[in-house]
Amino acid sequence: MLDGYGAVLALRAAGASLVIDTAGRVPRVLHWGADLGPLDAAAADALRATAGPAVLNNSPDVPRTFSLWPTEFEGWAGTPAQEGHAAGTATTPRPQTTAVRHRPAGRDGENGGTIEIDLADEITAIRSTMVLAMDRFGVLSVDIALQRDASLAADGAPIPYTLDSLRVLLPVPERATDILDFTGKWCRERAPQRGPVFFGSHVRRARRGKPGHDAPFLVVAGTADLGFRRGEAWATHLAWSGDAEYVVERLTEGAGPFSATIGAGEGLRPGEIVLADGERYVAPTALFVWSAEGLDGLAGRLHRRLRARPAHPSTPRPLTLNSWEAVYFDHDLDRLTALVERAARVGVERVVLDDGWFHGRREANAGLGDWFVDRSVWPDGLGPLVQLVRRHGMQFGIWFEPEMVNLDSDLARAHPDWVLGPRDALGATARDQYVLDLTRPDAYEHVLARISAIVDEYAVDYIKWDHNRDLSEPVSGAAGIDRPAVHEQTLALYRMLDTLRRRHPGLEIETCSGGGGRVDLGILDRTDRVWASDCNDPVERLQIERWTRMLVPPELIGSHLGAERSHTTSRRTDLSFRLIVALTAHAGIEWDLQEADEDELERIARWGAAYRELRGLIHTGTVVNADLADDATVLTGIVATDGGRALFTWARLATSAAGQSGRVRFPGLDTAARYAVRIREDVGEASRHQSADPSWVTGALRPDGIELPGSVLAGAGVPMPTLNPQQAMLFDLVRLP
Ligand code: GLA
């Protein structure tokens, strides 16, 4: 550890770096972007010497700085790092660095490392520690913890401090002219939106008590040419499952020597965090990623970070059958037995019993909270079903929605005060339900005990953990007054997930929230899969998953084969298209297989076999996406980290005016290598809008495929078949020795 106070310090890894100057009152960023190499004294001095912008007319008489804790004291008139007050006083924070600790990793610090900064502020009587950590993949995380310390203030800070906001904000250069982030709705999560960095603030708030279907997800500031494989990008994500705020902001005077800022912080409700002497607030981790290789470069760093976690799922991701769109609430042992038998036949390895198994849950308006097996439909309990599943060598999973309650439940009747919301009059239901106040120890213990009991009784391998409504008016009456409780509720959720995983080693958990309404790296630290969307329609799903993969690697994304006619869009699609789209993630089935004929069952079984063959690659490889001019077409793939094999999906969503694709380049391949290219038709042929394939495709359709150099595949490109809309083709490439 080095005492770095006053020095220029760098965190460097995998071609990225953050350089800060710790000489001022608060450290400031000198550079965030490409690695500048090991900084010698001359380079460090030069970076510092060039960090002061011009002093503009009609502005502060000293050069403005933009620090890691921007305040008005520094002349910063944009969104500050911290807002709050002590009954209307202490509104002008002036933190001052008291110590800096630098722990570089690697010989020249080329494997990242950490910089810890201690700050003390006499105005707000707060001590804080900011930890900047760069992992070896170049992803920067920033953690801040605050503690009220009355001894800092001359008057002993008798009034508690209300923290209104705390954000981590980093500066980005003038070439970051575009904003890309996400929005969405139920069944259309992670829809990208893009626009210019205008002067002013682009603020995205998640105020649903969860990230939401319209979550900003990953907020990117990038160069005008930003694409999947091109352009430079600076991105942020808040690893938090409660309320959040993301900001991209540009003032005419810039941000120190930079142009704009990007950052994130928890969205705090009025009076939610009040700190008396000695009390602490720990902010959620804000992640920052830079890439000079477009969006795929961002995703690559984030995927490598996640995959390096000790708890990252390392066993083969089992082919899953989920009962929801197969039987909904019709929990009938005979019907489910037939479904499980068919599932076993096509190679399913895990069966998940979805909503409908617990007391009083005959439809969606009752029962939430009563986590006892419903004896009216399961007279012998779940044992007979679980035993059948186990006899087939499959795992057993089950659905819970632990944070919710229906008023029509024994739980709500016994404990009406356990409902989160204003005590005098609850607001409207959503999906007929309310949120359970897990900040109450008794409610928390009750739910935890019920889940544990079911997991123990049936040796449950897997929980699908759902969360089907927003937290609106989320106040807890636990203390006798109604106080905002999203922060505490989110921490209670995390505590419960952590406790269950400790108590039941090997238990896996999927995070679901009406589909993909709660996909963030906070919950993913304690879960093993995200249900990306309730939409199994492959046209929608292909896009939802493509964008979900910007943050989440394919092995953590559930993707299911649905019915021919989508239950959520009514669109009809071919089996082969549905199967190909469901393949390149953590695959599963959510369809009543009784509807499938013999030919379909065989194709599904072949798909299951292909999934088992390819999942080692799909679940460890690098995700790549081609930048295509025709956005009715998609070329997306996964390339093994050693480059030895790659799998690409060529899909057409709609027709295009153009008849031909022209030469399309397969991204991520080695242009110096040769590849055996094979088009796999295990699951059926894609229907074409042409009378004959390009001749090389005819070769690739032969069982042994065709040999092509990487220079042609990845450099020059190859003409692709013109598919009919809603069709896809799978290309399997093996690098030749
Ligand atoms: C949510 C989930 C679905 C299903 C239903 C059950 O909508 O996203 O997958 O589990 O709840 O009610």
What spacing in Å lies between the alpha carbon of 327 and ligand 1's midpoint? 12
Q: Which residues contact 62 (CB under 8 A, 6 or more apart)?
A: 55, 75
Same domain, 132 and 277: yes
| Phi, psi dihedral angles at 192 (to 5 degrees) | -70, 150
Question: What percentage of the chain reaches a pLDDT higher than 90?
Answer: 98
Same domain, 347 and 241: no
Calculate the alpha carbon distances from 25 to 65, 66, 582, 713 in Å: 10, 11, 53, 54
Residue 529 covered by a domain = yes
Same domain, 160 and 144: yes
Same domain, 129 and 178: yes
Q: Which of ligand 1's atoms lies nearest the C-alpha of 364?
A: 12
The mean pLDDT of 12-34, rounded to a whole number, is 97
Among 307, 341, 363, identify where a domain stops. 307
Distance between CA 58 and CA 74 in Å, rounded?
16
Among 617, 643, 662, identify where a domain stops. 617
**pLDDT 10s digits, 599-643:** 999 999 999 999 999 999 999 999 999 999 999 999 999 999 999
CATH number at residue 426: 3.20.20.70
Same domain, 713 and 569: no
Going by C-alpha positions, the residue among 100, 143, 462, 484 that lies closest to residue 285 is 143
Q: Is the pLDDT of residue 289 over 90?
A: yes
Distance between CA 259 and CA 132 in Å, rounded?
22
SS3 476: strand
CATH number at residue 632: 2.60.40.1180
Distance between CA 616 and CA 467 in Å, rounded?
31
Q: What residue's CA is closest to ligand 1, atom 7?
A: 514
**pLDDT 10s digits, 653-712:** 999 999 999 999 999 999 999 999 999 999 999 999 999 999 999 999 999 999 999 999
Where residue 181 falls among pLDDT bands split at 50, 70, 90? very high
Find out whether 537 and 569 touch, Cβ atoms under 8 Å: yes
Q: Which residues line ligand 1 (CB under 6 A)?
A: 324, 354-355, 399, 466, 468, 512, 514-515, 531, 534
What would the two tokens of residue 527 be?
A: 């879960």
Among 617, 651, 674, identify where a domain stops. 617
Quote the pLDDT of residue 5.
81
**pLDDT 10s digits, 524-536:** 999 999 999 999 9
Distance between CA 514 and CA 130 in Å, rounded?
35
| Phi, psi dihedral angles at 386 (to 5 degrees) | -60, -40
Distance between CA 57 and CA 564 in Å, rounded?
66
Distance between CA 360 and CA 513 in Å, rounded?
22
Same domain, 613 and 627: no
How many distinct structural domains can be found in the chain?
3
Best of 321, 355, 365 to mutate for ligand 1, by most ligand atoms within 8 A of CB?
355
Q: Which residues contact 302 (CB under 8 A, 6 or more apart)?
A: 137, 139, 237, 287, 289, 550, 551
Q: What residue's CA is closest to ligand 1, atom 2?
A: 514
The number of residues in the chain equals: 737
- Residue 177 is classified by DSSP as -
CB burial class (10 A; 0-12, 13-18, 19+) of residue 552?
Answer: buried
Best of 512, 519, 533, 568 to mutate for ligand 1, by most ligand atoms within 8 A of CB?
512
Same domain, 278 and 145: yes
Q: Is the pLDDT of residue 2 over 70?
A: no
What spacing in Å lies between the alpha carbon of 530 and ligand 1's midpoint? 13
The mean pLDDT of 335-356, rounded to a whole number, is 98
Give the number of C-alpha atoms closer than 13 A to the C-alpha of residue 438, restricted to the C-beta side: 25
Q: Which of ligand 1's atoms lies nearest the C-alpha of 514?
A: 8
What spacing in Å lies between the alpha carbon of 115 and ligand 1's midpoint? 43
Distance between CA 232 and CA 223 in Å, rounded?
6
Q: Which of ligand 1's atoms lies nearest the C-alpha of 515?
A: 8
**pLDDT 10s digits, 635-647:** 999 999 999 999 9
What would the two tokens of residue 309 be?
A: 């976690």
Find out whether 148 and 288 touch, Cβ atoms under 8 Å: no
What spacing in Å lies between the alpha carbon of 514 and ligand 1's midpoint? 5
What spacing in Å lies between the alpha carbon of 605 and ligand 1's midpoint? 26
Find out whether 419 and 435 touch, Cβ atoms under 8 Å: yes
Q: What residue's CA is closest to ligand 1, atom 12?
A: 355
Calculate the alpha carbon distances from 660 to 93, 260, 678 in Å: 61, 41, 21
Same domain, 229 and 344: no
What spacing in Å lies between the alpha carbon of 513 and ligand 1's midpoint? 8
Same domain, 72 and 180: yes
Same domain, 634 and 534: no
Q: What is the 3-state secondary structure (H, E, C) of 36-104?
A: CCCCCHHHHHHHHHCCCCCCCCCCCCCCCCCECCCCHHHCCCCCCCEEEEECCECCCCCCEEEEEEEEE
Residue 314 covered by a domain = no
Residue 657 covered by a domain = yes
Q: Which of ligand 1's atoms lies nearest the C-alpha of 590?
A: 9
Best of 185, 213, 324 to mutate for ligand 1, by most ligand atoms within 8 A of CB?
324
Find out whether 546 and 636 touch, Cβ atoms under 8 Å: yes
What average pLDDT does the structure give for the chain? 97
Name the residue range of residue 194's domain. Answer: 2-307
Best of 186, 213, 468 to mutate for ligand 1, by most ligand atoms within 8 A of CB?
468
Give the number of C-alpha atoms closer than 13 A to the C-alpha of residue 669, restricted to the C-beta side: 34
The mean pLDDT of 332-360, rounded to a whole number, is 98
Distance between CA 112 and CA 11 in Å, rounded?
5
Residue 315 covered by a domain = no
Q: What residue's CA is closest to ligand 1, atom 4?
A: 324
Going by C-alpha positions, the residue among 169, 139, 359 that lies closest to residue 255 is 169
Residues with catalytic function: 466, 534
- Residue 481 is classified by DSSP as S
Neighbours of 653 (CB within 10 A): 20
Distance between CA 219 and CA 221 in Å, rounded?
7
What spacing in Å lies between the alpha carbon of 355 and ligand 1's midpoint? 7
The mean pLDDT of 432-453, rounded to a whole number, is 98
Same domain, 594 and 668: no
**pLDDT 10s digits, 84-136:** 999 999 999 999 999 999 999 998 889 999 999 999 999 999 999 999 999 99
What spacing in Å lies between the alpha carbon of 718 and ligand 1's midpoint? 42
What spacing in Å lies between the alpha carbon of 465 and ligand 1's midpoint? 10
Distance between CA 321 and CA 343 in Å, rounded?
7
**pLDDT 10s digits, 483-506:** 999 999 999 999 999 999 999 999
Residue indicated by tokens 């960095």: 197
Q: What residue's CA is closest to ligand 1, atom 1?
A: 514
CATH number at residue 158: 2.70.98.60
Same domain, 353 and 281: no
Distance between CA 9 and CA 185 in Å, rounded?
43
